[in-house]
Chain A
Amino acid sequence: METVKLTIDNREIEVPKGTTIYKAAKSLGIDIPVLCYMDLHDLKVENKPAGCRICVVEVEGRRNLAPSCSTDCMNGMVVKTHTTRVINARRTVMELILSDHPKDCLTCPKSGHCDLQDMAVRLGIREIPGQEFAEMSTYKKDFSPSIIRDVDKCIMCRRCETMCNDVQTVGALSAVNRGFMSVVAPAFEQDLEKSPCTYCGQCVAVCPTGALTEVDHTAKVIRALSDPTKTVLVQTAPAVRAALGEEFGMEPGTLVTGKMAAALRQIGFDFVFDTDFAADLTIMEEGTELLDRLTRHLNGDKNVKLPILTSCCPGWVNFFENNYNDMLDVPSTAKSPQQMFGAIAKSYFAEKLGKKREELVVVSIMPCLAKKYECQRDEFKHDNNPDVDYSISTRELAHMIKSFNINFIDLADEDFDRPLGESTGAGVIFGATGGVIEAAVRTAYEVQTGKPLPRLDFTELRGMEGIRSATIDFNGLPVNIGIAHGLGNARKLLDDVRDGKANYHAIEIMACPGGCIGGGGQPLHHGDSSIIKARMAAIYREDAGKTLRKSHENPYIKQLYEEFLGKPMSEKAHHLLHTHYFKKGNKDIYI
């Protein structure tokens, strides 16, 4: 490997050719401030438009200051990262950015988690010269069902564009207009709702300021909790327990399942249930559908569509409705766990309680912003009453816990309520990429072969690689499995399927890099992707610690089928647990 030698702040260093000054300095322990720059190393995502100029350094012999995030090291370079000239330039840049930024930090939803605020503190900005005559750009606010755009707070770092276009290939956002008038916006500056946005929320996850935030439903949840005529149920998604602790200063990857259940009970939910239960139920339906399609395919039925695609991720559903609307019969018809939970809660469980569905309020805690949109979809309503009333993010739950004066860290562990709180390890791993298909394999194998699984851990299905594939031996029948996380990877895989280049029987797709653990509603990682890896390890730890690890062994799932649904894919199950998809967009008529 070719290397170069240089000096940074009077210290010599040798780095591989092509290393940036910023990274070389970092390896010396010199922490050059960056704002627009973002490196999600484990996901192979880098944003370095060199737009903000906060990271400038002085390079001997160079006329102007160099942006260290995007300037490569050269042999013999002499770099200074904190000269008076550099510090003054950095301050001026910051003052200019702040001169066109609203000063409502006290009431901003991002306050306390804002990279711009942190930078102002770090650089010790105490006043903004010329503020009284500086012009402020103003732009309409955009409220979608999941995401709020407040472009006045945008600093044009382009991180959201990198996520939306390069990583997710959704193409909802682009920089438009020019100079002072430039903003990041959807085509024709329409609202997000009219764009191909999937509400995956990856833009929100990386936005350094309050320009992109989630729609906050906590006030509605609190109102429901204080309504004596309502019975309020809560369900928590698998990925939440692996990340919620971060909001309370705990190490990334700390499992807080028991504390979370305790906190939800203290908040006042009448029943603390688990989406993992519905994940087990999803496996029963989706696994049966997979086996049904597979059997028919092997028997030579030409009408059967393979591969079967998972359908638990609402961002992914939005994506294929927009981009693969010629293949709407390929994904599984199984609803997502969130929606299966809502449908069962407001039928089976309501009957058990002797209550009408209108008397129940179902709240979901999700690592996801697309879930907010999903629960509002018309097909998930019954007489205008939604199966899931409100979906709030991991971040919103953390905020609720704090505002209810609960000392989260010191809470003693509690368990979920029964019946809809019981789950197996298979339900837990839904939170990580590859988990849904691994859970499906654990059940489908035993149902298909009638034999117990020789092993439970399918490590070949796990990992952070964007596209993965494996062949699982179903007692002599090879089943080809594909996995993609991140919508850009999903697109590559789906294009291969459409072109007949791939031969898969089943494919799992998650919209967010890493799966739900990297969802748009999770605690902000601030560019540190090792946090997502730590959450993934936590998910598999939780699975390994469970007594039951196969969905079909969940006793309450068995009871649900015995008492209510009959068997998987029965008429009742079809009615309550399956859905259909809609064509969106008009791209096809223009080609």
Chain B
Amino acid sequence: MLVRLIAADDSRPSSMTERQLLELEREALLHPRTSSSQPEWITLAVDHREPRPPKGYVVSFAKFHHHGLGSPPSRFMRALCHHYGVELQHFSPNAITATAVFAAVCEGYLGMMPHWDLWLHLYRGELFISPSGTAGVRKPVRGGCLNLVLKTGKSEKPQEYISVGLTSNHAGSDSQWFYIAER
């Protein structure tokens, strides 16, 4: 079926408050702020409608930090951004989880740095385009458009990796954005 693309929606206003970010800190999922000149993360003005990070900061989502992203991000995470030609907010929550699991497999079980060729062998990038509510019409999304999925096609190498069944429930996560330092 031919799919028609329509204009993407504007970003959803952020619902993240300083209190929620401090709670992420308390849960040891967000690095405590150690610098007053360039803190690891910054809060947004109330009802911050559109991402406009100051110089030195990028857009992140609370869900990313629940799933294994830290600040400063690892070299592997930065390499993925450059390889796929995307910005941090383009990763889907499950792409972050898949990446975190892969890094942990390499470091915690295989005893090596995340292995670039192994990553390319196992994973490919797919574009997520949101349904619009009208059949055959879809719209690109501003955040979460890059899914990283295991290669399982007939011409690919199936069943060479561990079982990675990830959740499909990410309701509300696209409004939980804030800024983290880019280094």
A and B held together in a complex: no
Chain B: residues with CB nearer than 8 A to chain A?
A: none
